[in-house]
Amino acid sequence: MTIPNSEGLLSLESCLPCTPEEEREKIKELTRDSDNLKEGDTLYVISARWWRNWEEYVKFDETEVSILSNHSSNGALQNHCRPGQIENSELVSDELNEGSNIPILCKNLQEGLDYHLVHQRVWKMLQEWYKGGPEIPRKVISEGINSKSFRVEVYPLILKLIVARDNSQRIIMMSRKASVKDLYNEVCKLLKLDQAEVSLWDYFNSKKNALLDNCNYTLEEAQLQMDQEILLERKVDGFLSSSLGMDLTGNSLALVPVYSSRLSTTIAGGPTFSNGFSTGFGSSFLRDTEDGDDVLSNGAKVDGPGLSGLQNLGNTCFMNSAIQCLAHTSPLVEYFLQDYTGEINTRNPLGMQGELALSFGDLLRKLWSSGRTSVAPRTFKTKLARFAPQFSGYNQHDSQELLAFLLDGLHEDLNRVKNKPYIEVKDSDGRLDEEVANECWQNHKARNDSIIVDVCQGQYKSTLVCPVCSKVSVTFDPFMYLSLPLPSTLTRSMNITVFSGDGSFLPAPFTVAVPKNGCCRDLLQALSTACSLKRSESLLIAEIMDNRIRYLENLFEPLSNLKDEEHFVAYRLPANHEKLVKLEIGHVNVDRPFEFSSIEFQYNVHRLKLIGAPLVTCLERDSRKWSDIRAAIANVLRPFLCKKASPKSDKMSDDNGYEPSLDSIALADNGDNAPCSSGQDPSISNMEVDRSEVIFPFQISAADDKFIRRKPIDRDDGVFAREPILKVALEWSDSGFDLYDFTFLEDLPEAFKSVFTAKKTKQEALTLFSCLETFMKEEPLGPYDMWYCPGCKEHRQATKKLDLWRLPEILVVHLKRFSYTRYLKNKLDKFVNFPVRGLDLSKYVMNNSAPPQSHLYDLYAVSNHYGGLGGGHYTAYAKLIEGNSWYHFDDSHVSPVSEESIKTAAAYVLFYRRKKEVDSTDILVE
């Protein structure tokens, strides 16, 4: 369905009961009333594309509007087109949900990018205004075993029902929180059968695994997977009847239903099982169970302990990759292959009473048993989802994110501390770092003591320094892994000139680093940090084009749209500037003008030359008098005054015969107004000034948007029109320029100036060490992440520095390849050169008083991500614990690989093990 054009909307708009402002306020009111979700609530899926168009139409996010305010000529909302009917058809799959008119969504949609969730009352209101559809209702479910959390089940379970008698198939969509009894009821209702006549089987990978006979189990507890088949058998004279070519025990090979499959590869997906087939990488399809049955595979076959693959259950390659890395972590393998049940903590409210640890240990045993080709980790995934509900579905996820939750869950299940003591954290108070670090580590160990802490946790030093009172705060915190940013490829340098809105300082250029694939909001935040913006202030960013202003109104405009050769400025204004009147001051050179008169508009039109960058300041809503305009202009021009002038010198004339007004008296240069006085407090000050101290060697004229039509102003014009933006032109003659230094307004730097050399140098390689140094680099906190300084008793924009203090036996390094904004997600495929043997971190560890310990590490596993955000796949490289052989784990497929081939641009999470003995030949030289 196409969206109507603007002409087609005229009749619809004319009968609208609400203005855009009224729509916005009504939806905000309904949203506020629906903030507290509870189990069973209904939310609706709506197209993100349509929702964004509606947000722009009504200016929904007032916070963003206040940062980059809307500069419409009449003060109303910017005139965005009204969206057409709600168009959700692009979200809906071609599959039919048997027995229900609730549509099935396309695979791998992402919230915020593809769809948006609104409460039922919001949906009904939007439907009343815009019509369209189809309706896509989804229920709120509760998850978690420790503390209940609620989320919208956007993707309920899709089950393929196979009727054994005639091999017919139907699609059923049910909540994973529905019971097995609910499943029986739904099936019997659909086929008009008596429940006593049927039996349902878990038919995972086209094999009868278990009879679904516990009616109190949820479908999740029954381990039913997304897109899984369930088998219906009818009882004849009390016995099950089947015509699928199998006996009642299900041991014979079943007939495999053949129908089209849909490729489903995403950032976290890889090949998924769809309708019984493995789609994507390779043409093989697996029919295997967690107990390790037959496998059909056309890949290279390897066998032996630790060489078992993991089946993809549907978008679970991210989980398989992380598990294979942990399954080749020698301290954990040794631990879980022994009897560890004595350390299970059944009393820890933060754990799962040992269920997650037992399931993980059972999975490791199967992976390390001989003669097994692949394992289906269904039980483990069910337990993991109960601990971390965000992994309960079959959506795309991140291997590092899963790894973090899994290690945390294993720690809580195996925590040797049964009763955690209360420990009051003490401030460092100038004590030696060694003393504070040891105290913090002992406090941590007193509450957290497990194999995970013993093997995987280290300690880093965090230093905060107050920029006002220089108070230094030092803390020592544990870490499970290091998340390292990728330098240079992650950021782009931009030059922005910051102007004072009240004339308290000269324009100052700033160079900031922003995400290459970020948006204007990232630029605003970086610049706010660089210029130490106060809470009472805000920045208005604009591009200077032909000496005119183009405000960057859309906070989510990609920075890639801003060209290197363009000029950008930021005006430092009060935080509430959107509620004030903006005075935009342009500059024109009126020497040798060509002019003619327009009787109709009473304007003089000059062929003039605009000069310099415009200035912007603010006036109160009721400050629109001639004296207010003059005072504001005088304020913003003060820093540019460069020459003293006596009262008599204001009797100047230019070639046009213009003379300053007789009441203008020269402003004496007492040092406070010289250009070098930029160190003054940049806060917005009182706009009131004594007119007797002001010199005006220019004519002030009211101007139109392009500064073409101008009308001279004098004190008899009274009050200006009530508009949100007033534009005035200062008509300068050459003699007037002698009093002010205009180089600050004319010599604006380009956004980025490339430096060319006669001889091109090879680009410096990106290494693991450069990533680590970027991680440890001192940087200021953002304006929205202020630190409460105990010295000042106020929130300050402190500088933060991280240092490594204590390294663990197993060092997990996460390369931050993915960057996210509201509307933009990006992956960095830059190759990072990382050592396989002899990673030496000695110079990065600050603790020199600890007992001698090796800081040399060898790589033993890598979690890889191939592809981009629209389609990708996770695999793993791992080295066997005994020996130097490396293997490639691609879900069920395991194959040998050379050590030289494991260093690729797909490396995402690196696993290092400390060397037991220091060998000087193994130390990596940078």
Alpha-carbon distance of 318 to 876, in angstroms, equals: 9
Looking at per-residue confidence, does 902 or 670 come out higher? 902
Could you report the per-residue pLDDT of 385-396, keeping only the tens digit for each? 888 777 876 677
Helix (H, G, I), strand (E, B) or coil at 160: strand
- Residues composing the chain: 926
- 56, 57, 60, 66: CA torsion to nearest 10: 70
Could you report the per-residue pLDDT of 543-582, keeping only the tens digit for each? 888 788 888 877 777 787 788 888 899 999 988 888 888 8
Asked if 105 and 45 count as a contact pair (C-beta separation under 8 A), the reply is yes
Centre a 10 Å sphere on the Cβ of residue 419 and count the other Cβ atoms it contains.
7
Q: How many CA atoms lie within 13 A of 696 on its CB side?
A: 27
Alpha-carbon distance of 163 to 170, in angstroms, equals: 9
Q: How many CA atoms lie within 13 A of 333 on its CB side?
A: 18
Could you report the per-residue pLDDT of 891-914, keeping only the tens digit for each? 999 999 999 999 999 999 999 999
Nearest CA to 744 out of 569, 563, 582 is that of 569
Asked if 560 and 583 count as a contact pair (C-beta separation under 8 A), the reply is no
Looking at per-residue confidence, does 37 or 442 come out higher? 442
User: Is the pLDDT score of 659 beyond 80?
Assistant: no
pLDDT at 31: 82
Alpha-carbon distance of 265 to 279, in angstroms, equals: 9
Helix (H, G, I), strand (E, B) or coil at 560: helix
- 46 to each of 124, 125, 135, 575, 691, how far by Cα in Å? 12, 13, 8, 34, 58
pLDDT at 147: 54
816 CB-near residues (< 8 Å, 6+ apart): 483, 484, 485, 486, 490
Give the per-residue SS3 of 498-520: EEECCCCCCCEEEEEEEECCCEH
Could you report the per-residue pLDDT of 39-83, keeping only the tens digit for each? 888 999 999 889 988 888 888 765 333 333 333 333 333 446 888
Which amino acids are annotated catalytic? Answer: 317, 873
Query: Which of the 8 DSSP states describes residue 8?
Result: H
User: Is the pLDDT score of 649 beyond 50?
Assistant: no
Identify the weakest region by mean pLDDT among 273-277, 667-671, 775-779, 811-815.
273-277
- Mean pLDDT over 313-336 rounds to 92
**Residue 498: its H or E element:** strand 491-500
Q: Which regions of 4-114 does DSSP assign to beta strands (E)? A: 42-47, 86-87
65 CB-near residues (< 8 Å, 6+ apart): 59, 578
Could you report the per-residue pLDDT of 763-818, keeping only the tens digit for each? 456 899 999 998 998 887 766 678 888 888 888 888 889 999 999 999 999 999 88
Could you report the per-residue pLDDT of 747-775, keeping only the tens digit for each? 888 888 654 333 333 445 689 999 999 89
User: Is the pLDDT score of 670 beyond 60?
Assistant: no
pLDDT at 454: 95
Which position has the token pair 């040794």? 334
**The most confident of 392-396, 433-437, 445-449, by mean pLDDT:** 445-449
Query: Confidence class of residue 848 from pLDDT cuts 50, 70 and 90?
Result: confident
- 549 to each of 185, 552, 567, 612, 706, how far by Cα in Å? 66, 9, 10, 11, 9
pLDDT at 10: 35
pLDDT at 21: 86
Backbone angles phi, psi at 539, to 5 degrees: -110, 140
378 CB-near residues (< 8 Å, 6+ apart): 204, 223, 225, 290, 313
- Mean pLDDT over 145-159 rounds to 78
Looking at per-residue confidence, does 596 or 480 come out higher? 480
Nearest CA to 571 out of 94, 152, 69, 157 is that of 69
Q: Which regions of 399-490 does DSSP assign to beta strands (E)? A: 458-465, 472-479, 482-485
User: Is the pLDDT score of 88 beyond 70?
Assistant: yes
Percent of the chain with pLDDT over 90: 23
926 CB-near residues (< 8 Å, 6+ apart): 767, 769
Helices (H), 518-671: 520-530, 626-637
Helices (H), 241-296: none
User: Is the pLDDT score of 274 beyond 80?
Assistant: no
pLDDT at 834: 95
Alpha carbon 368 to chain centroid distance? 38
Alpha-carbon distance of 465 to 516, in angstroms, equals: 29
User: Is the pLDDT score of 264 beyond 70?
Assistant: no
- 831, 832, 836, 840: CA torsion to nearest 10: 170
Alpha-carbon distance of 914 to 840, in angstroms, equals: 10
pLDDT at 217: 85
User: Is the pLDDT score of 130 beyond 70?
Assistant: yes
**In this structure, what token pair is assigned to residue 770?**
């450069």
- 690, 694, 698, 700: CA torsion to nearest 10: -10
Alpha carbon 911 to chain centroid distance? 25
pLDDT at 889: 95
